[in-house]
């Protein structure tokens, strides 16, 4: 990444963070870059969970799990129950609300792993100039890394 690309990336992150501060009525002293980095970390973890669930119905993905059956060691694909999935999603939601305040409750999770996982409705995204996906939904933690 060139210096110009890095500067542009941080400008985009700064601007996005400032927009998020307005949307979620965050305190003026909230560091927009730190906010975006924390949200992006949650986004990456959540998207990985969505991908694992899509491919394996297990939040851990394909982890080797062996059991002994009839004296023979066999590989068994584990599945995550719907209750456990809901608890996990609630823990992600709790982290988001902790960062974004009570208005963070408006963030919803997209379960399709091909796109971003944390979104807001298209009306709010348009009104506050939030980065959007192709469907117009606001992306809470976009990846501003330039493509080389």
Give the distance from CA 82 to its chain's centroid.
20
The model's pTM:
0.85
Q: What percent of the chain has pLDDT over 70?
A: 97
Would you say residue 127 lies in a domain? yes
Domain assignment of residue 114, given as a range: 3-139
Would you say residue 147 lies in a domain? no
Would you say residue 82 lies in a domain? yes
Kindly report, residue by residue over 71-89, the tens digit of the pLDDT. Answer: 888 877 778 888 988 999 9
Would you say residue 25 lies in a domain? yes
Number of domains present in the structure of the chain: 1
Reported confidence tier of residue 62, pLDDT bands at 50, 70, 90: low
Would you say residue 144 lies in a domain? no
Would you say residue 145 lies in a domain? no
């Amino acid at each position: 990444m060139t210096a110009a690309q890095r500067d542009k990336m941080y400008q985009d992150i700064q601007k996005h963070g400032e927009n998020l501060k307005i949307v979620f009525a965050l305190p003026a002293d909230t560091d927009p870059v730190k906010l975006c980095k924390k949200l992006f970390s949650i986004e990456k973890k959540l998207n990985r969970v969505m991908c694992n669930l899509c491919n394996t119905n297990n939040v851990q993905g394909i982890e080797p799990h062996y059991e002994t059956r009839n004296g023979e060691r066999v590989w068994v694909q584990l599945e995550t129950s719907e209750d456990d999935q809901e608890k996990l999603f609630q823990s992600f939601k709790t982290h988001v609300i902790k960062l974004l305040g009570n208005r963070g409750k408006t963030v919803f999770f997209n379960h399709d792993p091909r796109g971003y996982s944390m979104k807001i409705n298209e009306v709010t995204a348009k009104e506050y100039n939030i980065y959007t996906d192709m469907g117009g939904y606001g992306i809470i933690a976009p990846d501003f890394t330039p493509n080389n």
